[in-house]
Structure 1
Amino acid sequence: MTGEFDAHERRMWTGAAKAYAGSFAALCAATAGPLLDAAGVRDGARVLDVGTGPGTIAVAALARGAGVVAVDAEPSMVELAAANAPGADVRHGVLPELPFPDGSFDAVVANFVVNHVEDPWAVLTELRRVARPGGRLAVTVWHATANEAMSLFNQALDEAGVVRPSYPAPMSFARTAEGLRGLLDQAGLDEVAGSELAWTHREDPEVWWSGPAGGVAGIGRVLSEQTPEMYARVKAAYDKLAAERLDGDGLIGLPAVAVLASGRC
């Protein structure tokens, strides 16, 4: 079943694969190693990468010698992931239902996916279903308050005087290590563990801007709905703020904090 928030997410990501791959994907790739470690992905393991996007996690799992199946709800992401991860079986799949029998995989991973679904508990329950008994599940989400990677865009919107529209909201959970562990507990996993992952993403300001400029994610949706005049005001505010953060190498530092949780199925 697809609710109002899930439908909103589908619209938001339509056709966004290339813009995402050229902007925010590098930020999200930073958690690939810890995520696969937490899921116990190793040579010979059968892995499901849910919400694969451009295939970043699928590529990393293939490099470990795993057999990889990857799914995404957005057709442009499926096409791009298949090109980037030719050794993986990449398919279209829409949560909260997956087209696989019970116990199909040794490990199931979802990198920044649970924060993009209407019912996180239902999704985690489905991910547990397709993992074999004794297999592992690992997921990441952005931290609710400590993550500042997107703050530059929000500051620019505020300085330009953009009034945020009201969008559908998902079911709420605490986006902390404790909150995500609690969701995995509720979904029936054992030996649940959680932690925070912190790093600074360094990027060219124009590359970073290309994400929302290309309509990527919620910030891109907001920007796409502005008049040309307001768009220009936001860009001018962004350029000013980015210039204040520039280091000697011409890059900006973007502090990021993610939450990782994993358990045994």
Structure 2
Amino acid sequence: MQWTDAAAAFAGSYAHLCGYTAPALLDAAGATAGVRLLDVGTGTGTVAALAAGRGTRVTAVDAEPSMVEFTRSRLPAVTVGAGRLPDLDFPDGSFDAVVANFVVNHVADPARAVAELARVSAPGGRVAFTVWPRPAPPLQQLWLDVLDAADLEPAPPTVPDELNFPRTAAGAAGLLDRAGLRDVGGRVLTWEHRTDLDTWWSGAASGMGALGEALAGRDARTVAAARREYERLAGRYVTADGTLTLPTAALLVHGVR
């Protein structure tokens, strides 16, 4: 599993990318002081930390034990525990706001997962989540191009075709409609992720993401060949000072129970 014991590696690579959407996600969920908020798939706690700074009453859950321990040690004032979609161990209507930052794109049954987010939100509460769009923006397409250039097979898709949804703002919002939410809306967030070649490679080298999954268990020669293709293809995004600047985008959708 790509996320097993991956908290430290995630914190040093992909967490910064995923954290970009946190302010807009919390705004969409109405996360203000006193609000009871559930952060599902908290990872290393970026959203939970920002929410706590706003004065919300934060509960954070994640399916991966290393993420739970990392976030618990980082945010001792936040209630952090184990939790996995689509079966959250909370009564109906437990929270005023429920958020999931880049979690729905990792579940096998997105509609059921979003219905669970809605279930644990109180009447009048807000649900908001983010997913990556398709077609893939340049940042995500880079990994796909490296897979192709290195002649590596991507991992099988997480979601069966019959359970999938269009990775567009309308498609993601449709999951909230199906879950019975009202005042549903969505938009595309765009930005440039700034990092460097070594840091960005470290996520894949640790087994995360599409390339990381394909490299898992491969011999050193195969990994080195993939690294060379990565540096070649990523070169077009490296500025004179060595900064790797990757355009990307996310879908943010929200609704009211």
TM-score, normalization by structure 2: 0.95
Q: Within the alignment, does 1:97 sit opposite 2:105 as a pair?
A: no
1:252 aligned onto 2:234: no
Alignment of 1:235 with 2:233, yes or no, is no
Question: Which residue of the partner structure matches residue 145 of structure 1?
Answer: 135
Alpha-carbon distance change, 163 to 218 in structure 1, aligned in 2, over 3 angstroms: closer
Query: What is the aligned-residue RMSD (CA, Å)?
Result: 1.4
- Paired residues of 1:12 and 1:218 also in contact (CA < 8 A): no
Cα–Cα, structure 1 residues 201 and 105, in superposed 2: closer, same or farther, change >3 Å?
Answer: same
SS in 1 for 2:80: strand
Give yes or no for contact 2:237–2:246 (8 Å, CA) kept in 1. no
- Which is further off, 118-127 or 70-79? 118-127
**1:165 Cα offset (Å):** 4.8
Aligned pairs for 1:1-265 within 5 A = 11-166=1-156, 168-170=158-160, 171-265=163-257
Instruction: Give yes or no for contact 1:149–1:256 (8 Å, CA) kept in 2.
Output: yes
Give the whole-Å Cα distance in 1 for the aligned partners of 2:39 and 2:193. 23
CA contact (8 A) 2:25 2:128 kept: yes
SS in 2 for 1:70: strand
Range moving further from structure 2, 38-47 or 233-242: 233-242
Q: Secondary structure at the match of 1:86?
A: coil
Q: Give secondary structure in 2 for the equivalent of 1:13.
A: coil
Note the residue ranges of structure 2 that are not aligned, 5 or more in a row. Answer: none
Q: Given that residues 144 and 210 in structure 2 are in contact (C-alpha distance below 8 angstroms), is that contact kept between their aligned partners in structure 1?
A: no
Q: Quote the offset at 1:243 in angstroms.
A: 3.1
**Over residues 74-122 of structure 1, what are the superposed CA-to-partner deviations in whole Å (9 max), with x where a residue is unaligned?**
0001011112222210000111111111111110000001111011111
Moved more, 239-248 or 113-122: 239-248
The answer on whether the counterparts of 2:103 and 2:131 sit within 8 Å (CA) in structure 1 is yes
* Distance in 1, Cα, partners of 2:155 & 2:45: 31
Secondary structure of 1:145's counterpart equals: coil
Q: Deviations over 1:179-203 (max 9, x none)?
A: 0111100011010001000001011
Q: Is the 8 A contact 2:41 2:100 kept in 1?
A: yes
Distance 1:255 1:106 in 2: 34
The structural deviation recorded for 1:130 is: 0.8
For structure 1, the 5+ residue unaligned runs are 1-10
Task: Supply the distance in 2 between the matched residues of 1:165 and 1:258 (Cα, whole angstroms).
Answer: 22
Going from structure 1 to structure 2, the CA distance change for 1:207 and 1:184 (only over 3 Å counts) comes to: same
- CA distance 1:164–1:75, change in 2 (3 Å): same
Q: What is the CA-CA distance between 1:168 and the residue it aligns to?
A: 5.0
**Alpha-carbon spacing, 1:105–1:168, altered in 2? closer, same or farther (3 Å):** closer
| Partner-residue secondary structure (3-state), 1:82 | helix
Name segments (4+ residues, structure 1) moved above 6 Å: none
Q: What displacement does 1:218 show?
A: 3.2
The one-letter code matched in structure 1 to 2:222 is M
Check whether the contact 2:108–2:158 (CA below 8 A) recurs between aligned residues: no
